[in-house]
Chains A and B, each alone.
Chain A
Amino acid sequence: MARVLVVDDAAFMRKVLTDALVAGGHEVVGEAGDGEAALAAYRELAPELVTLDITMPTKDGLATLRELIELDPAARVVICSALGQETKVLEAIKAGAKDFVVKPFERERLLGAVAKALGQASATPAA
């Protein structure tokens, strides 16, 4: 089970994600509504995993992801996208995101993506 930071500009989606993650046995250690707040929370809370929305004000998910990976190349990020954002998802995977979910998503799909991201990370040999 992981300590998770939830990043989404919509309070409703933060609640949906938090409820699903807690139901899956994870601990949501923080929430952020935009990219800058997400980066600050990541530095402060050092979560094991981040769920990251793509469409956000001021700094979108892709720009946030790139800064996050620069800050911590081992960061485990699951992208939350909407239908029609396939190009963004591919860019995010290339930039270092571990997996993605497409809204509206089933709780099991989110938990599966989180498990995959955690598994991928733990399977990486230590430097």
Chain B
Amino acid sequence: MSPLDPAVTTEALMRLGASTAEAVAKALDAICPEAVQRGDVSVVPGEESPFAGFPFERAAVAVSVHYVDGVTGGNVLLMTPAGARAIAAAMGGEAPPASADADLTELELSAVAEAANQMFAAAASATGVVLGQDVEIAPPDTRLLDGPAAAGEAFEATPHAVGATFHACGEPCRLVQLVPNAFVVRMTRALDEQGTEQLSGDAGLSALGIARRVEPGEERALDEALRDIRVRVWAELGRTRVSLGAAPELPPGAVLELDRKADDPVDLYVNGLRFASGRLVLTEEGEWALRLEEVAGRTKEGVI
């Protein structure tokens, strides 16, 4: 399978776009509670400017970050000046100002940059989950743009882009992810290694709340491409939660109680999806194995 197979590339880009948009929307919602509406996530066709979908009636405020390690690429968040002002006010715990005619102050621009920093940090974390490695971002860069052409000049073009739309405080926002080929290769490899939780591409996209139109034949090709993917399988004895503050203070010798009794079955996970349960048994070689009692709702026994 070519790492840049169009169907798999689209899958990777949509997965990336969905996880990023979700994280950005959540972070934005924390800043502007009950004032965020989510829109579409879409892969931008190669011949189109990823910035063309934004209404440049006046100058737009653009905040961008790039990744400092882990992966290449970057994110750009476009806002109207009124939207930027409202987000800046929300950052300070204030209501949006009545008039948005005056130029944004340095402090307002700094507040917007900080808001974007918080959104992009959450997005980088979400991307890191997909890639299976930490993704760090550089400090944000803020600039004023007067149209799509200025945006195209300000940010280096990449072979791929994903766009997501929002409304925050009644103003439109557009999130653009600029994605180089190297990023897609790493993304598809990561998905390849993880097998992706979805055995059908669209099932996974549906789980992320995305509907994608599938061309005749594409779904079959995608299924065939995904069928040979190796997936990670592990057994889980039980789990518990501790606060982030408490975790580093746990001393050696501490006992953490898990949520399972000693005679409860053990869960089998396939790439993060609970898939089966069974009992731990010892093989003749002295290794642990799992005797399956229930597999995806079926109860015929088998040993894995």
Contacts and interface: CB of A to CB of B under 8 A. Distances in A.
B121 A83 contact: yes
Given A12-B91, A16-B92, A55 B247 contact: no
Interface residues of B, number: 32
B138 A82 contact: no
A12 B122 contact: no
Contacts of B111: 10, 12
A124 interface: no
A43 interface: no
Contacts of A122: none
A84 B121 contact: yes
Given A12-B111, A15-B107, A84 B139 contact: no
Nearest to A97: B248
What does DSSP make chain B's interface, helix, strand, loop or mixed? helix
B125 A85 contact: yes
A31 interface: no
A90 B248 contact: yes
A82 B248 contact: no
Contacts of A28: none
A13 interface: yes
A90 B122 contact: no
A65 to B, nearest CB: 14
Interface of A: 9-13, 15-16, 55-57, 82-87, 89-90, 93-94, 99-100, 103-104
11 contacts: A12-B110, A13-B110, A16-B92, A55-B139, A84-B23, A84-B121, A84-B123, A84-B124, A86-B244, A93-B248, A100-B245
